[in-house]
């Protein structure tokens, strides 16, 4: 047993010597205050470096958090805008549907007031009217519609001249008729 104790003591001394050599900062063969001061300086430098790294990480996380908040806010604004536009479009569609329904009611009311025989007569005449409409020259019709206001002005002018001549003859007839 003593042999085992001696062996363990030798291993312990070897291990302490290894630790001493590893902790001997100034390589003078012994562990002293200068070695501890050097180790403390190295540990402080490592802590300072780690502190700078941690501050950089925190700054990056802060920037990412702000960017995320801004991005979420932008997305919410865009979604709100699209929601508003969809609501406006929906209201416009509903208003158009209401107008179409009102027109359909008006047409239905008009059809309900028609006598069935009149409606049948109109339906019988519809193919004939359609055929006549197909024969109309659209360009000529557009030309006539374009020149119609000038023609109406000319007719109105002629009508006023005819009235003036008629009034003159009436005045002349009343002078000779006395």
* CA–CA dist 59, 101 (Å, integer): 62
* Residue-level pLDDT at 117: 80
CA 168 to centroid of chain Cα atoms: 74
Q: Which residues of 29-56 are buried (b: 16+ CB within 10 A; e: fewer)?
A: eebeeebeeeeeeeeeeeeeeeeeeeee
Q: Can you give the residue ranges of every domain in the chain?
A: 7-135
Residue with tokens 């002078």: 175
Query: What's residue 63's pLDDT?
Result: 96
What is the per-residue pLDDT for 39? Answer: 75
Q: State the pTM of this model.
A: 0.40
Instruction: State the first-to-last Cα distance of the chain, in angstroms, to the nearest integer.
Output: 175
Q: Are 35 and 24 in contact (CB under 8 A)?
A: yes
Tell me, what's the pLDDT at 111?
75
DSSP one-letter code for 31: -
pLDDT values of the chain reduced to their tens digit, one per residue, 178 residues: 678 778 877 877 786 666 555 555 556 656 667 767 777 887 888 889 898 999 999 999 999 999 999 999 999 999 999 999 999 999 999 999 999 999 999 988 887 787 778 778 878 888 888 888 788 888 888 888 898 888 889 989 999 999 988 888 887 777 776 5
pLDDT of residue 138: 82
């Amino acid at each position: 047993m003593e042999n085992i104790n001696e062996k363990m003591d030798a291993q312990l001394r070897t291990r302490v010597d290894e630790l001493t050599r590893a902790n001997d900062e100034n390589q003078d063969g012994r562990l002293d205050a200068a070695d501890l001061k050097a180790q403390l300086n190295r540990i402080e430098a490592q802590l300072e470096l780690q502190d700078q790294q941690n501050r950089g990480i925190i700054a990056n996380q802060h920037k990412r958090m702000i960017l995320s908040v801004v991005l979420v806010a932008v997305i919410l604004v865009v979604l709100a805008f699209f929601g508003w536009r969809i609501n406006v479009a929906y209201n416009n569609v509903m208003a158009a549907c209401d107008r179409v329904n009102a027109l359909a009611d008006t047409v239905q009311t008009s059809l309900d007031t028609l006598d069935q025989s009149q409606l049948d007569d109109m339906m019988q005449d519809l193919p004939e009217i359609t055929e006549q409409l197909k024969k109309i020259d659209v360009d000529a019709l557009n030309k006539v519609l374009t020149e119609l206001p000038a023609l109406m002005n000319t007719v109105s002018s002629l009508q006023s001249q005819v009235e003036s001549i008629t009034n003159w003859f009436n005045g002349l007839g009343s002078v000779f008729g006395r």
